[in-house]
A and B are shown apart, each in its own frame.
Chain A
Amino acid sequence: MSDLILQTKGLRASYITHLYGIDREVKVVDGVDLSIKKNEFFGIAGESGCGKTTLLKLIAGFCKPPLQVQAGSVEFLGLKEPMSLFEATEAELYKIRWRNISYIMQGSMNVLNPVRKIFKSFEDFAYPHMQELTPAGFKQRVIEHLGNLRLSKDVLETYPHELSGGMRQRVTIGLATLCSPEIIIADEPTTALDVVVQRETLGLIKRIQKELANTIILVTHDLAVHANVSDRIAIMYAGTIVEEGKTTDIFDRPAHPYTQHLIRSLPRLGDKEKKGYLKGAPPNLADPPPGCRFHPRCPLAVDRCRVEVPKLELKKSGTMAACFLAE
């Protein structure tokens, strides 16, 4: 099992609030097992509110109230000893953050500090984790690194608002990759970008992953992005993973009805065939349906789906799917 970099086991977490005497529990991640390999581009897909961002927070070891972990673990395997992120102290987590696990945020104005020049942001984010370098050495390193991302060093002396959306996103990618971390978590990194810039940015992220030979965990709702960059993908629905497998297998032979629907309804240039859609809406996670969480919308649901929760199992198609009906 030495080729794994991160593993979650039976991860279960909820947002728990006690407001005005009303207890509310939103079960947002429910029994997630992930094994993410070294040197892999791993994609997580799902609709808004399916728990994908919460899952990312847990993977990064961020767990503050009202989010509470009820069961399961997240283990980071990039160090000599496996490290359980929920048992680690704040100081230990601080050490691995940015150095070993870093984060590319959704490209927008609010990621970078609007009143600090770009280089100051580099100092704020990354320098505390690179104390072995002198200030001058650090700057040299940043300039070289940005050169690799095809950004000139003049960028360092500008404010975020002076840059275009694509350049800003390159800067945040630069920030996240400066320390060559083993894992980079990217949350909707290209969602706010135009199509032309999106393609360039994805090309850049893909190239960096090849150069660093590290792991990128990419979260986006856009399956067209996953089709073009991810090696493996996990499809999330209402807090659970319903299907996981190699990207080509998932796209060619989806086993779960939800995945099948998502892939069949993707619009594509040159395709005028009528696309269907699912009735209903994703469930309220404060009160999820019993059994398979997808059954109220599933066109194939049988009685068993309404009571029993399906497990993620290997299917004939070569993917892992949580569905009783898939063979």
Chain B
Amino acid sequence: MSETIELLSVQNAKKSFRLGGILSNKEIIAVNEVSFSLFADKPDILSIIGESGSGKSTLSRLILRLLLPDSGSIKLEGTDVHAMKGRKQELDYMRRVQPIFQNPFETFNPLNRVDEFLMATATNYFPGEKPAQAKERVEKALQAVGLSLAEVGERYPHELSGGQLQRASVARAIIPNPKILVADEPVSMVDASLRMSIVNLFQELKNTMGTSIIYITHDLATAYYISDRIAIIHKGYFVEQGDTEAILSKPKHPYTKLLVESTLDPRPGATSLADGEVSTGDEEYLAVGCKFAARCPRAMDICRKVQPAETIVGNWKVRCHLYGENNAS
């Protein structure tokens, strides 16, 4: 279709987990029919928005190749993840796709000095290099996040502030010059006054190093702020994906509408606080048809029976019967 080279291509990826004991045959499909692509010549920040239990962390583990999909394919630069075998290819994958974790205090070993940890990372990814070269790589990575070896010094993780440590953990991730960074809730443990520094950093990395970033979060406000594209995940399905500004200003899927309405506006009294029934999403994973139908204000009969397919409506993809072929509106 297009001339651009696919950096990461996820097609109909599916991952399920068995519930209960060995005799139970209940299954939860944590990631279902998920498709999206990142392109090598056009670095992107893609936000994946989901509530707890939506499958967003499973998806991040699939992208990091910590889990393999049950069906569908995940390809990095044309090679399927299933085809990669052995330590060398694994390392090669890790070099190109790097994670940033939620809690920087857990990223680093509390008993090791931060600079030693970073040096070890450099020698791991580039074995056979001289220490001086490794040091250069670490210094370069630290400078890219606004720190320096002198600043990090010979300090232990607890001697750095949360914001500094999260920067150091971003530095760790960019040491092997990855093409993709997968950040799973990277700012939820960082103090408010420092949060935007990490978020701004992602933008800088995208612009200066051409790194694509998959930003996984529940926070629509920061996603709106930094991302070019957005995907809303609900119970394993991408219900809506496309351009961030377009979707969040005019959401099509009822679930996205609910999320946008529920996001608190930080201006006094700007959000109406409804005190309605308690919404529980617990049973939704096992629902037949559209998983959101039970909570959806516009649910129709078909929604409770048939899972809607992903269709292109306007400029982006939506998975909802309201926009199906018979119901073009």
Contact = CB atoms under 8 A, between A and B. Distances in A.
Interface string A40-66: 000000011000000000000000000
Contact of A269 (B195, B220, B278, B280): B220
**Majority secondary structure, A binding face:** helix
A227 B192 contact: no
Contact of B193 (A165, A196, A271, A278): A278
B265 A228 contact: yes
A202 interface: yes
A262 B193 contact: yes
A234 B236 CA distance: 41
A226 B290 CA distance: 35
Interface of B: 51-52, 161-164, 191-197, 199-200, 218-222, 224-225, 245, 248-249, 258-271, 273-282
Q: Which of B196, B219, B263 has the most CB of A within 10 A?
A: B196
A151 interface: yes
23 contacts: A47-B191, A164-B278, A164-B281, A165-B52, A166-B278, A166-B279, A196-B258, A198-B262, A200-B274, A200-B275, A221-B191, A223-B266, A225-B264, A227-B264, A251-B266, A269-B221, A269-B224, A270-B248, A271-B224, A272-B224, A274-B200, A275-B200, A281-B162
8 closest cross-chain pairs (CB), A and B: A281-B161, A203-B275, A203-B273, A267-B221, A224-B264, A277-B197, A194-B51, A224-B266
A270 B225 CA distance: 8
Given A203-B273, A203-B276, 6 more contacts: A195-B263, A199-B262, A200-B279, A227-B268, A228-B265, A262-B193
Contact of A267 (B51, B162, B196, B197): B196
Contact of A281 (B194, B270, B277): B194
A199 B192 contact: no
Nearest to A249: B268
A17 interface: no
Nearest to B276: A200
Contacts of A222: 192, 264
Given A262-B193, A265-B193, A282-B191, A198 B278 contact: no
Contacts of B277: 150
A172 B110 CA distance: 35
Contacts of B280: 164, 166-167
Interface in A197-249: 197-200, 202-204, 206-207, 221-225, 227-229, 247-248
B195 A228 contact: no
A222 B261 CA distance: 17
A195 to B, nearest CB: 5
A276 interface: yes
A247 B194 contact: no
Contacts of B51: 194-196
B265 A278 contact: no
Nearest to A229: B273
Q: Which of A222, A272, A281 has the most CB of B within 10 A?
A: A281
A266 interface: yes
A170 interface: yes
Q: Which of B221, B225, B266, B270 has the most CB of A within 10 A?
A: B266
